[in-house]
Amino acid sequence: MTEPSAALAELTEISSQIESAVLFGADGKVVAATIPDEPAAQVAASAKALLEQAAQIGDGELTQIEASTGDGSLFVVKDGTTMIAASTSAEPTAGLVFYDLKECLRAVAKPPAKPAAAKPRPKPKPKPRTTRPKSNGTS
Amino acid sequence: MGRRRLIALGFAVGSLLGIGLYARRGREGRERIDLYFADGSLVSLHSDSPEAAPLLLHAHDALRAAAA
């Protein structure tokens, strides 16, 4: 599992369209953010409210939202109990932003890779026997 | 001469106001919310839809906080 803050740092590095991002849990608690704590908590609260209200509109399970406004766009993606909200400038490439956000969520949720099992130490080769010629005492 | 200038100035100010209002209306008209569901369906709500208004409010709040 990638550290949430490291995953967000990677996200903003690879996606030039994303201006800020906030990772938060189902309870609205901020896990990590690229902005200071107070605005991050506000973003998480608004994004959570947006998800909850939007979920009442359709019949199926809501997984992602794009809100396009004149000031910019807000993306919210849900993956299990972890959610991410990201702001971009106006008219972003939505497909790319969604892809990057999902990758970030996957990186955070992925279980840590198991360390490779330590190879058993090879047995030390037996030293070749050296047989000394017997001295016959005639020297 | 003075009257002509006044008319030209009024025309320029009016044009600028018109451009500003048009741009603002255009920006607001572009506002929309796209909802993507797990089954692959998409619901797109435009700003003139009554369901979009409360959702856009939350989106504006989040964007304002993110920009602060």
Rounded to the nearest angstrom, the minimum Cα separation between A54 and chain B is 7
Q: How far is B41 from chain A (nearest CA, A)?
A: 9
Q: How high is the pLDDT of residue B68?
A: 83
What is the reported pLDDT for A46? 96
B46 and B19 part of one domain: no
Residue A43 inside a domain? The answer is: yes
Instruction: Give residue A71's domain range.
Output: 4-109
Q: Does the predicted TM-score (pTM) go above 0.80? A: no
The verdict on a CB contact (< 8 Å) between A39 and B63 is: no
In a domain, residue A128? The reply is no
| Of A39, A53, A57, Cβ closest to residue B43 | A57
A125: helix, coil or strand?
A: coil
Query: In whole angstroms, what is the distance from residue A34 CA to residue A25 CA?
Result: 16
- Helices A37-55 and B52-67: crossing angle, nearest 10°? 170
C-alpha radius of gyration, chain B, whole number: 20
Assess if residue A124 is contained within a domain: no
Domain range holding B15?
1-30
Write the pLDDT tens digit of every residue in B24-61.
665 556 799 999 999 999 999 999 899 999 999 999 99
Task: Answer yes or no: do B6 and B37 share one domain.
Answer: no
Assess if residue A10 is contained within a domain: yes
CATH code of the domain covering residue A31: 3.30.450.30
Averages of pLDDT over runs of 10 residues in chain A (139 residues) are 87 93 94 95 96 90 94 93 93 94 91 61 68 58
The pLDDT value given to residue A139: 46
DSSP string, chain A: ---HHHHHHHHHHH-SSEEEEEEEETT--EEEESS-HHHHHHHHHHHHHHHHHHHTTSSS-EEEEEEEETTEEEEEEEETTEEEEEEE-SS--HHHHHHHHHHHHHHHHSPPPPPPPPPPPPPPPPPPP-PPPPP-S--
Domain assignment present for residue A125? The answer is no
